[in-house]
Structure 1
């Protein structure tokens, strides 16, 4: 699409600087790297916007990793011979922005997506240097694709999990595409209409910019203010204005 001079100026001359931010996209497709992923095709729209604004981006497919089931940081300590999660988790912890992408199967997010959320949950008891839960100060979003109903349902599930773990969820933090219900072309298939779908492209763009703005705001303000949400201080007896000072 040809931009007019005013539109091009909005792209070239906006006052926002996202240098130094990083974003990790976890594509929870069932397909290993090297096989075309429709979810990744939509993820790449968001990634491209971030990269154009000097954000360090990376897309990984958790299906490429051996991630045992469990809710502990390292499942080799609980009977499994191998666990690739600790290495993947270091990338999660280093990113300002986490976007979880998933296809829809039987109306739900993929089994790989649910496994990733369970492994994220395994880290949630850790604290950051301010005594808050470890995901405080990070921003989360989700991208959904499929050929059946479920975009909003899957987005609700993923975004609820992320906010419960401590991620900050900005407005319009989800985007998705579904074709005609039932068998038919997927997002990246020729003639699907997905890449041309204005609703999908608009929502993906709005989501991306909201993630960027929220991540920059948190980074500049050193995260969520550390008062009233510090587990270590609560356990030490600070009640943060809780109405029952005798609570134990």
Structure 2
């Protein structure tokens, strides 16, 4: 992905060192590799900015893997013969930044995106070394492409899901592109105007820098471990507000 002149200048003039960070992009396209993914086209702009700033990145297409449906860390323990999700989950946990990219179908994020979020949810009961939920201290964002309305709707759903799991969401943590409603050109199609769209390029740039800034801040100090530790809550001596009994 070739960045525009201003994007390149931002990278060259940056006084910040992000070289200790890493990022995972989950491209939740419905297309298996090597078929062209328009969502990946937009992802690669964010990836190019991160890599220009020394961040280690990887793009994963879940649709290329044999991922089981479910909400547990390893679904082979639940009757599935094969589950390729655990290695992906490990990479997610090792990364400081997670960006989920999705196309729009029927106004919603893709079915693959829903599955990915469900599998991420399956790890949400795990704890970090501070007794907080394991996703604390990581940042999340999303990128959306399509030929119909729904960018903001999809972004709301994805970003809510990530923050509910424990991810920290920076300002303007989403960006997207939609072409003409209906069977018009997609993002990477010749003459679509997608890669040149100033609004999309600006928002993708802002999202990426905000993700990098916040990830760097959290890398240094994390989320303070006070008032949010599941281990402390569960081990408290006085439990004077039990769950109500329903009759």
Partner of 1:227: 226
Partner of 2:82: 82
Please state how far the C-alpha of 1:33 moved relative to its aligned partner: 1.5
Alpha-carbon distance between aligned partners in 1 of 2:96 and 2:41, rounded to the nearest angstrom: 22
Structure 2: gaps of 5 or more residues: 243-247
Please state how far the C-alpha of 1:3 moved relative to its aligned partner: 4.8
TM-score scaled by structure 2? 0.93
Alpha-carbon distance between aligned partners in 1 of 2:184 and 2:215, rounded to the nearest angstrom: 37
Please state how far the C-alpha of 1:8 moved relative to its aligned partner: 7.1
Alignment of 1:2-151 (within 5 A): 3=5, 10-151=10-151
1:246 maps to 2:245 = no
Aligned residues: 240
Partner of 2:163: 163
In structure 2, do the counterparts of structure 1 residues 35 and 79 end up closer, same or farther at CA, with 3 Å as the change threshold? same
Please state how far the C-alpha of 1:190 moved relative to its aligned partner: 0.5
Partner of 2:173: 173
Partner of 1:242: none
Contact 2:21/2:55 (8 A) holds in 1: yes
Structure 1: gaps of 5 or more residues: 240-244
Alpha-carbon distance between aligned partners in 1 of 2:31 and 2:53, rounded to the nearest angstrom: 29
Please state how far the C-alpha of 1:48 moved relative to its aligned partner: 0.1
Partner of 2:245: none
- Moved runs in structure 1, 4+ residues, more than 2 A? 1-4, 7-14, 245-248
In structure 2, do the counterparts of structure 1 residues 10 and 204 end up closer, same or farther at CA, with 3 Å as the change threshold? closer
Aligned-partner SS, 2:24: strand
Please state how far the C-alpha of 1:14 moved relative to its aligned partner: 2.2
TM-score scaled by structure 1? 0.93
Alpha-carbon distance between aligned partners in 2 of 1:51 and 1:219, rounded to the nearest angstrom: 18
In structure 2, do the counterparts of structure 1 residues 104 and 247 end up closer, same or farther at CA, with 3 Å as the change threshold? same
Give me the CA root mean square deviation. 1.7
Alpha-carbon distance between aligned partners in 1 of 2:19 and 2:203, rounded to the nearest angstrom: 23
Task: Write out per-residue CA displacement over residues 57-112 of structure 1, whole angstroms, 9 at most, x where no aligned residue.
Answer: 10010001111111011111111101111111111101000000000000000000
Contact 2:11/2:49 (8 A) holds in 1: no
Task: Write out per-residue CA displacement over residues 188-219 of structure 1, whole angstroms, 9 at most, x where no aligned residue.
Answer: 00000001110000000000000000000000
Alpha-carbon distance between aligned partners in 2 of 1:192 and 1:29, rounded to the nearest angstrom: 19
Alpha-carbon distance between aligned partners in 2 of 1:8 and 1:34, rounded to the nearest angstrom: 28
